[in-house]
Amino acid sequence: MKLHYTATASALALALGAASAAKAEDLTLCWAAWDPANALVELSKDFEAQSGVTMHFEFVPWTNFADRMLNELNSGGQLCDLMIGDSQWIGAGAESGHYVKLNDFFDANGISMDDFVPATVTGYSEWPKGTPNYWALPAFGDVVGWTYRKDWFERPELMAEFKETYGRDLAPPATFAELKDIAQFFQGREIDGKTVYGASIYTERGSEGITMGVMDVLYSFGFNYQNPDQPYDMQGFVNSPGAVAGLEFYKELYDCCTPPGMSNAYMGEGIDAYKSGQVAMQMNFAFTWPGFEVDPNVGGGKTGYLVNPAGPDGLQFAQLGGQGISVVSYSEKQDLALEYIKWFAQQEVQQKWWSMGGYSALRSVVEDPGFAASQPYAQTYLDSMAIVKDFWADPSYATLLQDSQKRFHDFVVAGNGTAQEALDGLVEDWTVTFEDDGKL
Amino acid sequence: MSESPIDSLARATPPALAGRIRGLSDRSIAWLFVSPTILLLLAINIFPLIWTIRLSFTNFAANKPNAEVKWVGLRNYERILTDPDIWQTMQATAHFLFWSLFFQVVIGFTLAWLINRKFRGNDFVTTLIVLPMMLSPAVVGNFWTFLYQPQIGLFNYAVEFLTGIPASSFSMLGSVALAPWAIVIVDTWMWTPFVMLICLAGLRSIPDYIYEAAEVDRASKWRQFWTMTIPMVLPFLMLAVLFRGIENFKMFDLVVQLTGGGPGDTTLLTSIELKREAFEKWRTGYSSAYAIILFVTVFGLASIYVKALNKVKER
């Protein structure tokens, strides 16, 4: 009888052991719900086949992504083993202990940050910025750029009319002034029996939309977040005359040249406006570009891709998007999560990632001689990534972001006050936040 | 006489336990029964409230667990009450609250009064009218964004049809002047049926003989309406206003879907602002103070209102 009990207990222990071992071979990766995430699911099947690990995915739509995932991190949740968090989260991820520091892991596995595009290392991995402290592996390079209706730009009658009106060819704009001219030219025009409009730009109020759009323009007009010689000194930088001119330009572009009803538009609305043939030009992140190439309405050579135009003084920058992949410090499967990162960092995996629509940040992929010609948008992506700037990645970024959302939307969409007042107010808001943080 | 189940249960109770229970007073037994509920209420209502009050005097940020928590006294309250942006959200909330309640009461009562008359298909029409309140606010918010779309929205086309104003010349959700009315319209569309149902219950509770007596006294229909119908339905109507007022004061989902608080801060209601402060900016101490101010406001207004409601009922 005793033997019987012992055998039963052993069998039970084995079964439980096997069950827990099987459970340990699962990993959950958290990211935004968008096309690249679907590509990553496909790509990760190779990892599953090689490692025997089952991958689970938790994808949240962009407008709720920060809300949902920052809640998860702040509450020490164990839902995610791997987090592809937005670039601005890196400060909070590092300082609040949400992410595992990866320096030792990189050193032990021969992963060098020199092998990745410098802008993505600074943007997605480093905290504090400019120091060799890495909290993520660059996973998805992204940047705000423009698409335009190449087929409309090439119509002889439109080209002739534009030349007659503006005294130059109807060509992709090199400056924001040119972009506005073109947008005005198309605004309200009848093309193929449909009324079309100039451009779709970011105006979303709730999450980060209008800030991404406005900043994308302001950088090239001379906006700086702070005095380069004195951190957090913002007076005269955030609200410099150039920045004021840039914000006024954004409002003019919104007023003159966007389709009716685009008062709360972000990535999805931009994609819809462009694909449905409503707009001649569209501001959007590069992740949207592969989708246009295969779209029946705007694909097949009808779309051109454009680096963010230059400002009045020739400055040319673009808003950084994209994310790095981090190991969540609350995960009980950190070793397995690191295995995934090790696998993901491989050259052949990154090459496949690019071929599936994922924007690799590995230099050997993007600096390959064949890269620029591999897709119609590849060169534009490369050129754009060379001129990126990013929003505050400070631990208080969410507060700073909500302040800018409010100030920009209030001026650009609601039409309250002046650009100078909006930016002066932003300096005040940000100063309060940094004072609360003890940084001022 | 056969023994009842209670008697047999009492007989089966072990003597020691029976003795112990026998030793308890009625008051003690009452406490014994209600104490689990009281403990639960303390845990999920009173304790969080006291904790929130405590946090409201600190600079605590829930996303910075390692940061030092400092006692800031009344600074959070002072910042909130002197912040013009907060007063703007209060104004936006008051506008939304007043006008949505006004339209819901007027239209809801009118519909109830019409439905109360017996006609063929009465039940079918009632069911049709209450459909909007059965929908999820998120769904309603989403499809009204399409209805309000200047290029394809049915609402704009209806306005064009009725007034001649071109559909694409105005944006209900993008205009500072129109957006506050856009959210009032949607809330009215969704929740008027609720007010109607309560009014209908009030109208149907008035006995027919009162009207018959009024007819005998040759009271006009107009006089019957103002001196009998309205006073007798008033407690129901006030109850509906109380329910809708509390609901609309904490309105969140519908407006977030429609405008996200924009354009600018035009439709930024207090609940949306509070959520942003608490869970997007993570200013936990500050948002706790904000929540306490809102709680005191709602509690005070609701207390005054309930007193008025009781007076009306006593008449």
Question: Which pLDDT score is estimated for B2?
Answer: 56
Residues of chain B positioned with their CB less than 8 A from the CB of A394: none
The answer to whether residues B100 and B214 belong to one domain is yes
Chain A: nearest CA to B174, how far in angstroms? 5
The whole domain housing B138 covers 75-314
Residues of chain A positioned with their CB less than 8 A from the CB of B276: 402
Question: Which pLDDT score is estimated for B190?
Answer: 97
Name the pairing type of β-strands A279-285 and A137-140: unpaired
Tokens linked to A56: 């689970």
Q: Is A435 on the interface with B (CB under 8 A)?
A: no
Q: Using an 8 Å Cβ cutoff, are A208 and A401 in contact? A: yes
Q: Is A369 on the interface with B (CB under 8 A)?
A: no
The secondary structure element, H or E, covering residue A326 is: strand A323-327
Q: Is A262 on the interface with B (CB under 8 A)?
A: yes
Tokens linked to A288: 């949207």
Chain A: nearest CA to B21, how far in angstroms? 44
Residue boundaries of the structural domains of chain A: 2-141+323-389, 144-319+396-436
Class of domain A144-319+396-436: alpha beta
The answer to whether residues B253 and B165 belong to one domain is yes
Report, in this order, helix, strand and coil percent for chain B, each rounded to 5.
75, 0, 25
Fold of A2-141+323-389: D-Maltodextrin-Binding Protein; domain 2 (3.40.190)
From first to last of its 440 residues, chain A has per-residue pLDDT tens of 444 444 444 444 444 444 444 445 899 999 999 989 999 999 999 999 999 999 999 999 987 898 889 889 988 999 999 999 998 899 989 988 999 999 999 999 999 999 999 999 999 999 998 899 999 999 999 999 999 999 999 999 999 999 999 999 999 999 999 999 999 999 999 999 999 999 999 999 988 999 999 999 999 999 999 999 999 999 999 999 999 999 999 999 999 999 999 999 999 999 999 999 999 999 999 999 999 999 999 999 999 999 999 999 999 999 999 999 999 999 999 999 999 999 999 999 999 999 998 999 999 999 999 999 999 999 999 999 999 999 998 888 889 999 999 999 999 999 999 999 999 999 999 999 999 888 88
Say if A2-141+323-389 and A144-319+396-436 have the same CATH topology. Answer: yes
DSSP SS3 for A365:
helix
| Cα–Cα nearest to B296, from B249, B243, B261 | B249
ipTM for the assembly: 0.78
Nearest CA in chain B to A197: B151
The answer to whether residues B155 and B251 belong to one domain is yes
Q: How far is CA A235 from each of CA A21, A172, A426, rounded to the nearest angstrom?
A: 57, 35, 10
The answer to whether residues B37 and B80 belong to one domain is no
Q: Using an 8 Å Cβ cutoff, are B201 and B236 in contact? A: yes
Which portions of chain B are predicted below pLDDT 50?
A: none
Question: Which pLDDT score is estimated for A1?
Answer: 42
Question: Is residue B255 one of the residues assigned to a domain?
Answer: yes
Residues of chain A positioned with their CB less than 8 A from the CB of B279: 67, 71
Q: Walk across the sheet containing A303-306 and list its strands.
A: A189-191, A194-200, A279-285, A144-149, A303-306
Q: Using an 8 Å Cβ cutoff, are A103 and A132 in contact? A: yes
Q: Using an 8 Å Cβ cutoff, are A58 and A331 in contact? A: no
| Cα–Cα nearest to B69, from B283, B281, B274, B277 | B283
| pLDDT tens, position by position, B89-115 | 999 999 999 999 999 999 999 999 999
Q: Is A68 on the interface with B (CB under 8 A)?
A: no
Q: Using an 8 Å Cβ cutoff, are B182 and B96 in contact? A: no
Question: Backbone phi, then psi, for A175, in 5-degree steps?
Answer: -130, 165
Q: Using an 8 Å Cβ cutoff, are A350 and A359 in contact? A: no
Beta bridge partners of A57: A29
Question: Is residue B66 one of the residues assigned to a domain?
Answer: no
Question: Is residue B61 one of the residues assigned to a domain?
Answer: no
Q: Domain total for chain B?
A: 2
Q: Is A53 left (phi over 0), alpha (psi -120 to 50) or beta?
A: beta
Chain A: nearest CA to B15, how far in angstroms? 41
| Cα–Cα nearest to A148, from A322, A270, A316, A296 | A270
The Cα A61–Cα A34 span in angstroms is 7
Tokens linked to A240: 């410099």
The one-letter amino acid at B126: T
The answer to whether residues B200 and B249 belong to one domain is yes
Q: Is A276 on the interface with B (CB under 8 A)?
A: no
Q: What is the DSSP letter of A229?
A: T
Chain A: nearest CA to B168, how far in angstroms? 6
Residues of chain B positioned with their CB less than 8 A from the CB of A262: 174
Question: Is residue B134 one of the residues assigned to a domain?
Answer: yes
| Nearest neighbour of A399 by CB, restricted to B153, B262, B283 | B283
Chain B: nearest CA to A96, how far in angstroms? 6
Nearest CA in chain A to B282: A399
The Cα B176–Cα A248 span in angstroms is 19
The answer to whether residues B49 and B148 belong to one domain is no
Q: Using an 8 Å Cβ cutoff, are A37 and A31 in contact? A: yes
Cβ pair B281:A402 closer than 8 A: yes
Residues of chain B positioned with their CB less than 8 A from the CB of A399: 280-283
Residues of chain B positioned with their CB less than 8 A from the CB of A409: 262-264
